[in-house]
Structure 1
Amino acid sequence: MHQPRKRDRRPARRGRPEPTQRQAFRLTAVDVDVVLVGYFSAKQKDFETLMASAATDLATRGARVVVQIVQRRGVSDGGVEKMGLAYSSRTLLSYGKVREVAQACDQANADAAIFVSSLTERQQRTLTEMLGCPAVSLSDILAAD
């Protein structure tokens, strides 16, 4: 015969919280110090031009780019097959590069880390926690104006 089923004493799972409205980071103050981070594949040869253009866009909005950091994918032998993919779906960058950005943000006392690539909400939350300052994509800043 069947044995009676034991009662599950684990707390009931709650539904997912409602997604919060994504707050756009605004460069409201003049002379805001930011770290500019770019993620590019090896196929993109004009990454220096894109970084310079992003720095100019930020300067016109009152930000001062104190450090520029670039992560390139596919430069090494192992990365050629995965050139178009992010190193990590959680952080976009490799773990070592995230540590480098966090150290640069800390040393420069940066107000934000601006990513040339667009970030998902999860990446934005994770990077904000890891870097100790807001992580924002450049497209969000340009769209806020």
Structure 2
Amino acid sequence: MRLHPLSVYLHFHVRVPALRRGAPQASAVIAGTDVLIAGLFSAKRKDYLASMDAVAESVIRLGGRVTGRFVQRRGNSGNKKGNAPGGRRNMDRPYSRRTLMSTGKIREIAEARAQHQAEAVVFYNELTDHQRIVLAEIIGCAVFSRHDL
């Protein structure tokens, strides 16, 4: 089995606790703890800050404290008309099927989680079960989608 380079980096540079078995309830994990929020948005979407504010309000309503926000915007590549392959077509797609966001952004979230000792990360985006497992392993805490709140 080949390890993801980001997993190797984080296991040596960021203390990653063992994952808890079973899916914890968001309300039980978030209440009274520090929480990070994150979201991947298309560059076409102009209301992404309001969406992040809505996630923050949900965390606060459950008794959590938002200690960091991470936004990744998927922009338009190519020429001025945006006709290059991979440009406009991919704006609404995740950077990675495994981690949703780029490895650099996930590394940034993991380092902030360790620094703030956050107990959870809540993503604006819907996450697959596989993404939840991989992100929880890399980041080192419970990972939720806004739909779990």
Alignment-derived partner of residue 27 in structure 1? 27
* 107 and 74 in structure 1: CA distance in 2 versus 1, 3 angstrom threshold: same
Shift of 1:43: 1.1
Provide the C-alpha distance between the structure 1 equivalents of 2:37 and 2:88, rounded to a whole number of angstroms: 25
Higher RCO (Cα < 8 Å, 6 or more apart): 2
* 45 and 25 in structure 1: CA distance in 2 versus 1, 3 angstrom threshold: same
Provide the C-alpha distance between the structure 2 equivalents of 1:99 and 1:79, rounded to a whole number of angstroms: 24
The structure whose residues are more often helix, as a share, is: 2
Task: Kindly provide the CA deviation profile for residues 8-54 of structure 1, in whole angstroms up to 9, marking residues without a partner as x.
Answer: xxxxxxxxxxxxxx725322264211000011111110000111111
Provide the C-alpha distance between the structure 1 equivalents of 2:76 and 2:116, rounded to a whole number of angstroms: 28
Alignment-derived partner of residue 4 in structure 1? none
Provide the C-alpha distance between the structure 1 equivalents of 2:31 and 2:93, rounded to a whole number of angstroms: 35
Alignment-derived partner of residue 9 in structure 2? none
Residue from 111, 120, 130 that aligns with 1:122: 130
Residue ranges of structure 2 left out of the alignment (5+ in a row): 1-21, 79-85
Aligned residue type for 1:43: K
State TM-score, norm by structure 2: 0.74
In percent, how many aligned pairs have the same letter? Answer: 40
3-state SS of the aligned residue for 1:126? Answer: helix
Counterparts of 1:6-25 in structure 2 under 5 Å?
A: 23-25=23-25
Counterparts of 1:1-145 in structure 2 under 5 Å?
A: 23-28=23-28, 30-75=31-76, 77=78, 79-141=87-149
Alpha carbon RMSD of aligned pairs, Å? 1.9
Please tell me whether the aligned partners of residues 35 and 66 of structure 2 are also in contact (alpha carbons under 8 angstroms): yes
Provide the C-alpha distance between the structure 1 equivalents of 2:24 and 2:46, rounded to a whole number of angstroms: 30
